[in-house]
Chains A and B, each alone.
Chain A
Amino acid sequence: MGLLRYTIRRLLQLIPVLFGIVTLTFVMMHALPGDPVRLWLGTEPGQELADELIEAHGFDRPMHEQYVDYLVRLAQGDLGHSFVYNRPVVDLMWERMEPTLVVMGLSYLVALPVALGLGIYGAARHNRAGDHVSRFAGLAGISTPNFWLALMMIYMFSYNFGLLPATGYTSPFVDPVEAAVLLIMPVLTLATAQTALLMRMTRSSMIEEMREDYVETARAYGIPERKILLRHSFRNALLPLVTIVGLQVSTLLGGSVIVEEIFAIPGLGRLFFDSVIEQDYSVAVGVTLFFSTLFLIGVVLTDIAYAYIDPRIKYD
């Protein structure tokens, strides 16, 4: 009950931010250069046709009216019309949603266990050789540009060794084996920095937890170090990690632009990039809006998870 109420309240809190994002995207759409009418009709459109199109899409109406119209359409789940594809933006995005979410989900799936393992290991070996190595690896991980990593992997594994296909996408729900082979490099590209970051987080919050009084007490009672580490410290150390996982949605979505472009994955990131290049801005703005919303949902979800995990928080 309490959790439900908390969830609802968190969702309500999103409204002003969401509203702000919608407004910002509206501003973006109108600030971006390029003329959708000319995009669709060519450089020298007949005036009649152009007028028709302008009227149909309301480009000639005052800004505030267009804004209200934009809000109304959004509320109906209409993100506008792509002038390059001559199709609704929502349809285009819907077709490309799966790859982006799959790659993102898989990078979490790879990053989390590795990060937790290495992080706890580092904390347990605090200031010893193992810790230094993992710490250095963590630093190196967050310092590696993902686009460079992607290129190097293609060069090594696809071209030099011929081990992995350089590009392409197959849905893991259709052909899991082929999907696994295809997605190894894109997922690793996204997961590397992710792993490093989460690992550093885990390590430092574990170290912090182990300085707490209760750990001393537990030690004094002769509880084995291993048990203290995994039973008590870990649970508490998990909390900030949960938050970070939610916040990283944003970084991963940004990274999808690069990864999808390099590995030719038919996802939203590539749709976004291509539409910016072609000035198909209703699409670019639609994807931006979707990414931001996804991020906000991620944040709320982690908040809820947080409330659920943390025994100190009472939601009512």
Chain B
Amino acid sequence: MTDNLNQSHLDRRRFVKSMAAAGSVGLFAGCVGSDPEESEDGGVFVIATTDEVETFDPRQNQLAWYSSAAHYLFDSLLLQSPDGSEFEPHLAVDHPEEIDETTYVVEIRDDVEFHDDWGQLTAEDVEYSINWVLDPDNASPNQSNVAYIDEAEATGEFEVTLHLEYPSGLMDRSLAHMNAAPIVCKEAAEEMGDEEFGQNPVGSGPFKLENHDPSSSVELVANADYFLGEPILEGLEYRIIPEAEVGYVNLAQGDLHQSGVTEELLGEAEEDDDIDTYQLSNMDFQGFILNSLEGPFTDVRAREAVHHLIDYDEVLDAAAGSLAGRNWGHMPQETVDAWDFPADEWEENYYPEQDHDRAVELFEEAGVGTDFEVDLVMTAGEANEGRSLVLQNEFEEVGIDCDIREISTGDWLEALNQADYDITTYGWGGNDDPDGYYYHMFRDLQNDEGGMDDDVVGHSSIGYLYEGSRERGDDDVLEDLDRLDDLVREAQATVAQEERREYYVEAAEIVLSLYPVIGVYSAESVTGVHTNVQNYEPSEFGEQEAFNHWQEASIDE
């Protein structure tokens, strides 16, 4: 989930995948200095994951977990530090050097070799990789994450110039992630073509692909020529185990070294002396969307009424138990704290105490009364079921019929497109920048370049707030919404954080006062690591953590 940075368009498949990965593994990173006295024979590090790999080509990848795993096979220009505070030069020698507002120069290491004698990594490979993602013909899901770049140009053997479309506060972030700008081997990619490259990836990472048993395992072996040195580990293996709890059983048995731990199993895992657990924030938004286009919640008072129905802590408890934290302002609390957003004020004004009488009153004012039915749509999973059950209960208590409909993720995305729900469960991982939430969830899609298909009503984002207001000719609201759209777009194209903060504070006020979504919590996930893994500590932001600038893992058999 940490990998959904800057989603400028809701990509259907990534969404499916990132949601599926929620609550399972996905997160592994670390921060302890490497220990030189560790034995040379490092063993094979075995990690459970719930999803299959569809393609090994990070430029085409849609899966959250592979966005992380791909760091072992490929490198990026920068790498985010495990505490998230900075972006360390990785393939780059230093941070991008600013020539003017829209021109940056990146110098690249001259000691990086691609796997299997595919030669040296040069500026040409960087130019090719970034431009390939930018080319709309390639339909790369990463495109939107680097859309601020107009073109990458090799201006020397080891020097790349980035010509930007507009300045972006998210540049470093995008250059550090696999779902934005992974560097692939140009020669190999061109020679093989998309389909073959997806099965036989050629990168420069600390490990290379040894074997892939479809739906079963992915085996990587150490790359002896890695530019940071040869990894101690002999290899890495991902076991694809669809049920997280079964993965945990394997971990408890010692069959593998790392697995996600479900909330139910947390107590077990903590008691197990052979397992270290790490509870990490998923950096996401979890709650409900209310349909503002049609159905009972088109009136803002009806939407506010639903906010009065629930007890937020109860919803959180039923959905995620101890694996979650409340948040305010529709972004993770970490972000709110880091940006010093006025969360108290938001809570005071827009997160009312549970009050059924007030809710009924508001329903009456909105003209819907309590004599209507609510179609509550959810996708599979305990977190969704838990929160839906609580909400359903509250509706029933004030005499409103509420039916829950559980549908597959594919159908759910279809339902979002077609506005086929009254309320739906919703979660979105947008990383730690407000842009990941506000631009993605609350912009006006109509103002996007290229617009939308005719048959797509709009997506989930804001419950069709824009579309609904336009259809009803609600001018007052539209004025606010136009301002909202300006704000989130402006904030994205601004570099100075203080300025961005002001934009987001104003945007949040508008969003919260219209009650289009019920924001409840940020999920946390727990990953369990066997104690025989040395020098390895998962963190929220780290990538390539079995071997990176900060730590080097080994297995103590």
Contact = CB atoms under 8 A, between A and B. Distances in A.
Interface of A: 33-35, 38-47, 49-50, 84-87, 92, 95-96, 154, 158-159, 162, 165-169, 261-262, 264-267, 270-271, 274, 276-279
A44 B217 CA distance: 33
A44 B139 contact: no
B473 interface: no
Contact of B213 (A38, A154, A167, A266): A266
A264 B242 contact: yes
B405 interface: no
Given A154-B249, A158-B249, A278 B16 contact: yes
Interface in B67-114: none
A276 B453 CA distance: 24
Top 7 closest A-B pairs, CB basis? A266-B215, A279-B410, A266-B216, A42-B11, A95-B214, A264-B241, A166-B249
Contact of B215 (A38, A84, A158, A271): A271
Given A44-B10, A86-B194, A270 B141 contact: no
Given A34-B414, A43-B456, A266-B213, 14 more contacts: A33-B414, A39-B13, A44-B452, A46-B136, A49-B139, A165-B250, A167-B247, A167-B250, A168-B216, A168-B241, A265-B216, A266-B216, A276-B408, A278-B408
* Interface magnitude class on chain B: 35 or more
B470 interface: no
B60 interface: yes
Which residue among B12, B195, B253, B445 has the maximum number of chain A CB atoms within 10 Å of its CB?
B12
A86 B198 contact: yes
Given A43-B12, A167-B241, A278-B16, A85 B413 contact: no
Contacts of A44: 9-10, 445, 448, 450-453, 456, 459
Contacts of B448: 44
B34 interface: no
A255 to B, nearest CB: 17
Interface string B5-36: 00001111110100000000000000000000
A277 B10 contact: no
Interface of B: 9-14, 16, 52, 54-55, 60, 136-137, 139, 141, 194-195, 198, 213-217, 239-243, 246-247, 249-250, 252-253, 255, 408-411, 413-414, 417, 445, 448, 450-453, 456, 459
Contacts of B242: 261, 264, 270
A261 B246 CA distance: 11
A42 B52 contact: no
Contacts of A40: 13, 139
B10 A274 contact: no
A313 B453 CA distance: 64
Nearest to B216: A266
Nearest to B379: A277
Contact of B240 (A38, A86, A266): A266
Nearest to A169: B216
A87 B367 CA distance: 52
Contacts of B253: 158, 162, 165-166
Nearest to A92: B214
B252 A38 contact: no
B249 A34 contact: no
B411 A33 contact: yes
B54 A85 contact: yes
A168 B241 CA distance: 8
Contacts of A38: 12, 417, 453
Given A95-B214, A264-B242, A34 B411 contact: yes
A271 B194 CA distance: 22
B280 to A, nearest CB: 24
Nearest to B450: A46
Contact of B246 (A33, A49, A264): A264
Which residue among A33, A42, A159 has the maximum number of chain B CB atoms within 10 Å of its CB?
A42
A152 to B, nearest CB: 13
Contacts of A271: 215
A80 to B, nearest CB: 15
Nearest to B240: A264
Contacts of B217: 168
13 contacts: A42-B12, A43-B11, A44-B445, A45-B453, A47-B450, A50-B453, A86-B54, A154-B246, A154-B249, A162-B253, A166-B253, A266-B216, A277-B408
Which residue among B139, B408, B456 has the maximum number of chain A CB atoms within 10 Å of its CB?
B139
B195 A87 contact: yes
Given A162-B253, A274-B52, A168 B239 contact: yes
B250 A166 contact: yes
B493 to A, nearest CB: 20
B237 to A, nearest CB: 11
B12 A277 contact: no
Contacts of A87: 195, 198
B215 A96 contact: yes
Contacts of A154: 246, 249
A272 to B, nearest CB: 12
Contacts of B214: 92, 95-96, 266
B136 to A, nearest CB: 6
Contacts of A50: 453
B495 to A, nearest CB: 26
A43 B216 contact: no
Contacts of B459: 43-44
B269 to A, nearest CB: 13
A42 B55 contact: no
B408 A86 contact: no
B384 to A, nearest CB: 14
A87 B52 CA distance: 14
B11 A279 contact: no
Contacts of B12: 38-39, 42-43
Which residue among A84, A167, A169, A261 has the maximum number of chain B CB atoms within 10 Å of its CB?
A167
Contact of B13 (A42, A166, A274): A42
Contacts of B410: 33-34, 39, 277-279
Contacts of B136: 46, 49
A84 B216 contact: no
A47 B451 CA distance: 9
Contact of B252 (A96, A159, A167, A274): A159
A85 B445 CA distance: 28
Which residue among A41, A162, A168, A276 has the maximum number of chain B CB atoms within 10 Å of its CB?
A168
Nearest to B55: A86
A299 to B, nearest CB: 29
Contact of A43 (B10, B241, B409): B10
Contacts of B11: 42-43
Nearest to B60: A86
B243 A159 contact: no
A165 B255 contact: yes
Nearest to B239: A168
B540 to A, nearest CB: 27
B212 to A, nearest CB: 9
Given A270-B242, A278-B409, A47 B249 contact: no
A240 to B, nearest CB: 37
